[in-house]
Amino acid sequence: MARILAIDFGKKRTGVAVTDELQLIASGLTTVATHDFFDFLVDYLKQEKVELFLVGEPKQMNNEVSESEALIIPFINRLTKVHPTIPIKRVDERFTSKMAFQTMIDGGLKKKQRQNKALIDEISATIILQSYLYNLKN
């Protein structure tokens, strides 16, 4: 089996999480400057097999797409063009940033560490991936 790679796209930073090869465990991988993401991905795919990209889908409370979707669509189009053999699925990412922040609090991180937006993005990508894996099994 190959890994599943989850992407929490952001205008400045993009959080990345992956599964293990058996697709049982979601782990935060890194946060990458968005303008460097495709270079990072080329390097990562040289080392690891990925069978699916998950991209967060920002929605509003009324289930309509968020304004940030306008930034994500060109990103997805480029991802499809650069890696046409790897399918892309979207996952609702509502509340992932709040959940990531709460996870940091629950994990005992100090206030200074909780201000690390890159860590929030990485944890958010992990939450996106965990929710996908959970929904697969249920």
pLDDT tens digits, residue range 57-87? 887 778 777 778 899 999 999 999 999 999 9
If residue 50 lies in a helix (H) or strand (E), which one and from where to where? strand 50-57
Residue 116 has pLDDT above 80, yes or no: no
User: Rounded mean pLDDT of 110-131?
Assistant: 80
- pLDDT in the model for residue 93: 76
User: Rounded mean pLDDT of 38-65?
Assistant: 91
User: What's the chain's Rg over C-alpha atoms?
Assistant: 14
CA 45 to CA 66: how far, in whole Å? 30
Between 117 and 27, residue with greater pLDDT: 27
